Chain A
Amino acid sequence: MTGTAKNPEYDFLWCPGCGDFGVRRALEFAMRDWNIEREIPMYNNVVVAGIGCSGNLVHLYEGDQPYGFHGIHGRSLPLALGVKMAREDLNVVVVAGDGDFLSIGMEHIAPQAARNLNICAVIMDNGVYGLTKGQSSPTTVEDTVTSSTPYGKLESSLNPLDLYLTLGVTYIASGYSTKPRDLAAMIKRGMEHDGFSIVHVNSPCTTYNDTYALLKGNKAKGIDPLAWEIPDDHDSGSKSAARGIIEQGGVPLGVIYEDESRPSLEQRLAGVRERVTARTPEELLNTFAV
């Protein structure tokens, strides 16, 4: 990327029909609107990507280019913390998949929730390790046969929304990759939220775990859709209401929870800065003077 245009030589491809195309489009909408509203250039945005199919979103971004960091597997959150707390003025977005974020990177979710780190994480959940060709992930349904679970997955499947709510993530939205406009609105609201926001997106893998039919349902075949719209009257400020939505099961679509009362880490830090005056290195040396 050169700041303004995509790299003509870059040849990585998502499979036809991959859900990540829709998520990329949604992020492009959200970031474009964010920049226009604030009259800021694209280079004030940083996209930190996990490793996996979804992480390649950072290279496939269309149009005016944000800064990107494609780091190491599972560590998108601490990388994003480094960027954000070094430069609080930047808009920092994480893009990662369920394997990266919820398996190897799981340990980093709780600390960011406790800190209320002011970033927005967009998680593309396809319920499988796609890039390594089809192993089971934390969100793979129990008993599913994959290349790494030849006799069926013996573990229960993780409910990420339940996890986020329990850990204290202050903005939780759930989306579906085929609805990029709705998704863009959820992502933009997540970027606007002063604190740790996660937009969890069902983004099917057409090669290893094609769940389009399950998500949309098929009346003719008698399949009820997994995805359902959260009603307009849902009180996203209420934790118990949010839990109620999650416990209904399936894939709820919309903003599940938003706690605007909790200050973000940078807001807490601003309070410390008001109370504490830094000493210069000379002043510090004075404290050791013989």
Chain B
Amino acid sequence: MASRSEIVVRFAGEGGQGVVTAAEMLARAATGVGYHALTFATFPSQILGGPTWTQARIARSPVLSPGDAIDILVAFNDEAYHEHRSEVHDGGIILLDPSITPLPEEDRRCVTVPFDELAKQTGESRAANMVVMGGLSRLINMPLNYLKEFVSLRFAGREKVIEANHMALDLGLAHLAEEDPISDLGEPEKPDYEQVFIKGNDALSVGALHAGIDFYFGYPISPATPVLVYMERNLVGEGKFAYQASSEIEAITGIVGAGFAGKKSMTATSGPGFTLMGEGIGLAWMAEIPCVIVDVQRGGPATGLPTKTEQSDLLAALSPAHGDSSIPVIAVGTVEECFYGAVHAFNWAERYQGPVVILSEHSLAERAQNIPRPDLAAARVEDRDLYKGQNGYLRYESREISPFPAPGGAGAYIANGSEHDIYGDTTHLAKYHIHMTERRFGKLKLLEDGTYESDNASSSVAIVPWGGSKGSALEAFHKLRDAGVDVAWYYTIFLNPLPPAMLEELRSKDLVLVPELNYQGQFAGILRSLGVKAEAITQYTGLPFRPTELSERIRTRLAESRQPQAVNA
């Protein structure tokens, strides 16, 4: 039995069969023992039923992406078996209910467990996924007591449920007691630092709370709804407000109103809602009101693919409104960055007094992962420069940023979505449009403090992913480096404005490859407009990149670029 450093388990079936929670449970239990784990979920846009699958990747060292081929497929029904069997690698296992008949040509190892029948014996018919877990604990050689502990925690106070689920785990394990495990991950090494097991949307919400959010207003939309739910529950107390809006238009204008009133405000949405918010974001830019807008991207346009992942809102995020504006954008790429990105976004909004967009995406929002516990003391929080003088203040007189007057204090002015003069009153005069336009764009200079990562920076070619493609791209980069390929790595969450030093370095490269999940190559196009010889490596399947496949595509492209012909940008 070979020792492997990681294992990928996929659960596929119908919504309502426990498929959604299965991967999370396995990952949570694994991290409790000391492994590293990450989940990936995709489900249909309906409450019950419909083809659903989730995946957990478990490893001895930190994992960055959902991974490549499947080691173990748990197929809850016939459709799931046929849909996913081809993704199981040759040495993998397919775990099936006996009611599913494997294809005659199936050459992978098939193991049957009567999920439902065993579940019924426990008196809890919904415990089928626990039977599966019991069996899996044998196949991946993970002690059952870790899963039992997890069950006890999850159903704390409901003794009968715990008892039934523990029994289901035992039955599953007993059923496969004679089977050889697929691999041995080896003894886990518990990290010597504190950890949290958290999803991207929750990490982002906690980040916003740490940043001092006062006001949240949002409309339900997949995959951003968990932020609304978290805020409604946790943003409470004197001076705090979290509420469900009647539309995204109401949400954006509400948070602009709160920002005007001196508070830190945020909304979260996805593509369709983000489009509706365009005019309101333009208002925040125009009137210079701090606020944070989260776009948890999904497939688009229009209603698009509500429960699939995509990185196709970058152009919209940079320019959600009509007219002359350039909205600051922070695109997070890991669960950890969801936390820190939220803090940065509030700091930016407060510092330059305007709207900041956070781009997240479905795969990240729903990803549950163990990460080092965020160090709150080290995550610095900024507050806007409030005006504290007497009446007579001209809010917009300066050509640069100026202190922010808040209602209830002296310095009354008019925040205006129309072009305005130094008083805030509407004007059509060229001198004021010039003054205010330059003032608004000039403030972006204050945001050029973004940090970035780089590796093997001396190479003349570079891989520069953005957002949620970071994990797959970084794994692909490591594979290429291990294979002796000379290529550099650059990455930042600060997409607008880009860290100037990073941009300068990218301009010196012969070729910059941008893996991104959209058809157009949106970020590559932006980099080209900034003088970088950038080219996109695209995918638009609604799913994240697979690291191995991506590394092959990069390797092929790099080989082409080393041929004598000109690079076609």
Binding site for B on A (CB under 8 A): 1-4, 7, 9-10, 12, 41-46, 48, 51, 56, 58-59, 65-72, 75, 78-87, 89-90, 107-108, 110-111, 269, 272-273, 276-279, 281-282, 284-285, 288-290
Report the Cα distance A51→B418, complex, angstroms. 9
Question: Given B235, B254, B412, B416, which contacts A78 in the complex, CB threshold below 8 Å?
Answer: B254
Report the Cα distance A131→B359, complex, angstroms. 38
B391–A2 touching, CB < 8 Å: yes
Contacts A43-B408, A82-B259, A83-B407 known; A67 to B237 CB distance under 8 Å?
no
B contact residues, range: 35 or more
213-239 of chain B: CB within 8 A of chain A: 214-215, 217, 234-238
A75–B249 touching, CB < 8 Å: yes
Residues of A within 8 A of B217 (CB): 81-82
Contacts A79-B256, A82-B261 known; A87 to B425 CB distance under 8 Å?
no
A86–B373 touching, CB < 8 Å: no
B234–A86 touching, CB < 8 Å: no
Contacts A10-B423, A75-B280 known; A68 to B258 CB distance under 8 Å?
no
Question: Given A2, A75, A284, which contacts B206 in the complex, CB threshold below 8 Å?
Answer: A284
Question: Given A48, A273, A290, which contacts B197 in the complex, CB threshold below 8 Å?
Answer: A290
Q: B394 near A: Cβ within 8 Å? A: yes
Residues of B within 8 A of A68 (CB): 412-416, 424
Question: Given B209, B258, B423, B424, which contacts A85 in the complex, CB threshold below 8 Å?
Answer: B258
Residues of B within 8 A of A78 (CB): 245, 249-251, 253-254, 257
B250–A108 touching, CB < 8 Å: yes
A-B contact count (CB 8 A): 211
Report the Cα distance A285→B261, complex, angstroms. 29
Main secondary structure of the interface of A (DSSP, over half): mixed
Q: B51 near A: Cβ within 8 Å? A: no
Shortest distance from the beta carbon of A209 to any chain B beta carbon, whole Å:
23
The residue of chain A having its C-beta at the shortest distance from the C-beta of B191 within the complex is A290
Q: B527 near A: Cβ within 8 Å? A: no
A69–B414 touching, CB < 8 Å: yes
B196–A289 touching, CB < 8 Å: yes
B392–A2 touching, CB < 8 Å: yes
Residues of A within 8 A of B407 (CB): 43-46, 67, 83, 87, 90
B206–A278 touching, CB < 8 Å: no
Report the Cα distance A75→B281, complex, angstroms. 13
Residues of A within 8 A of B409 (CB): 43
The residue of chain B having its C-beta at the shortest distance from the C-beta of A275 within the complex is B236
Report the Cα distance A276→B259, complex, angstroms. 25
B237–A10 touching, CB < 8 Å: no
Residues of A within 8 A of B394 (CB): 2
Give 9 A-B pairs besides A67-B415, A78-B254 with Cβ atoms closer than 8 angstroms.
A2-B393, A7-B421, A67-B414, A75-B250, A79-B254, A83-B260, A86-B265, A277-B237, A290-B194
